[in-house]
Amino acid sequence: MPTYTEQGKEFSRDMNYIPDRITREPGRSQDGWVSTGSTSGGELEAPTWPVEPGRYRLVAAKACPWANRAIIVRDLLGLEDVISMGLAGPTHDVNSWTFDLDPGGVDPVLGYERLQQAYFARYADYPRGITVPAMVDEPTKAVVTNDFPWITHDFFFEWRDHHRPDAPDLWPDDVREEMEAVMKRIFTEVNNGVYRCGFAGSQEAYEDAYDRLWTALDWLEERLTDRRYLMGDAITEADVRLFTTLARFDPVYHGHFKCNRNKLTEMPALWGYARDLFQTPGFGENTDFDQIKRHYYVVHEDINPTGIVPKGPELESWHSPHGRERL
């Protein structure tokens, strides 16, 4: 559920997650020393778990943008045979995501009806929200981490021995510093920016969030006018992180979250870029517009109390030619 700051009723996302990491070497990652701390802002010691094919289960939901990025990265890197995946349904109650897509409403590997059970297997009194994505230890059926920025980071750096031979370089060294800055702006102003609009608790907070969002989207439109992807001519983690928001923009954020200056389809560069990614293996087949709409319009009862899910917009144009090969 959304939280608000004391002044102005701005939406504030709780970024304190379970800080554990799954790494090739205990106490150290392939990208630097990580014995303590978390990019989520936590101050807890961050234990590391060993990389072991077949041991962990990614629990995700195609409806959730933060989980969707983990699904896409797992697919892009070819980790399907070494990290199993369980998918929660698009709707949930205040307690937990549920496995209502599976026969009998039970995850076939974990034997759980609710993701909450994996959290409680590790922390009997877990005090925060039950979020996806989550990495779960199959032998103990207990959650390992739900720290979503690190999950996809570690899929690349820590599981690289198990990537398929033609896996993309999602974190290229030559643009790493710039990419980190781009991803930071995308997260604060776009990924989280749409939520600041949708869950604003005052007119002032909403208008400030709206202006910030469109400043960032205009910056992205300009950036993508003369380059195929955010960092040049190859797909990176930055593209995955932006895509999951763009895919939800017209079906959800434009109306439901009041981000309605214009539609994604009215921004030539961003719309072509989004279609380019959608038509790339790993992206489109992991994007379920029906689940996306059901999640937002049914779960957010405070914004949409009727629970009515809109039939539109038209989505067939996602398959139309994008013409960005010329870049």
Give the separation between CA 74 and CA 72, rounded to whole angstroms.
Answer: 5
CATH annotation of 3-162: 3.40.30.10
Note if the bond before 268 is cis, omega within 30 degrees.
Answer: no
User: Binding site annotation covers 97?
Assistant: yes
CA-based end-to-end distance of the chain: 41
270: its two tokens: 């961003």
264: its two tokens: 């994604």
Residues 74 and 80: beta-carbon distance below 8 Å? yes
297 is catalytic: no
Q: How many CA atoms lie within 13 A of 234 on its CB side?
A: 13
Q: How many CA atoms lie within 13 A of 299 on its CB side?
A: 21
Q: What is the CA radius of gyration of the chain?
A: 19
- Within the chain, all domains assigned CATH 3.40.30.10 are found at 3-162
Give the separation between CA 242 and CA 283, rounded to whole angstroms.
Answer: 12
Q: What is the pLDDT of residue 5?
A: 52
Fold of 173-326: Glutathione S-transferase Yfyf (Class Pi); Chain A, domain 2 (1.20.1050)
80: its two tokens: 């399907």
Long-range contacts of 322-326 (CB under 8 A, 24+ apart): 322/272, 322/273, 322/275, 322/276, 322/279, 323/272, 324/228, 324/272, 324/273, 324/276, 325/228
Catalytic one of 17, 64, 210, 273: 64
Q: What is the pLDDT of residue 117?
A: 98
Give the separation between CA 200 and CA 12, rounded to whole angstroms.
Answer: 9
- Within the chain, all domains assigned CATH 1.20.1050.10 are found at 173-326
Catalytic one of 17, 195, 253, 297: 195
Per-residue pLDDT tens, the chain, 327 aa: give them.
455 454 568 999 999 999 999 999 877 667 764 443 344 444 445 789 999 999 999 999 999 999 999 999 999 999 999 999 999 999 999 899 999 999 999 999 999 999 999 999 999 999 999 999 999 999 999 999 999 999 999 999 999 999 999 999 999 999 999 999 999 999 999 999 999 999 999 999 999 999 999 999 999 999 999 999 999 999 999 999 999 999 999 999 999 999 999 999 999 999 999 999 999 999 999 999 999 999 999 999 999 999 999 999 999 999 999 999 999
Residues 290 and 315: beta-carbon distance below 8 Å? no
126 is catalytic: no
- Unique residue bearing structure tokens 């996602």: 318
CA distances from 176 to 167, 181, 231 (A): 18, 9, 9
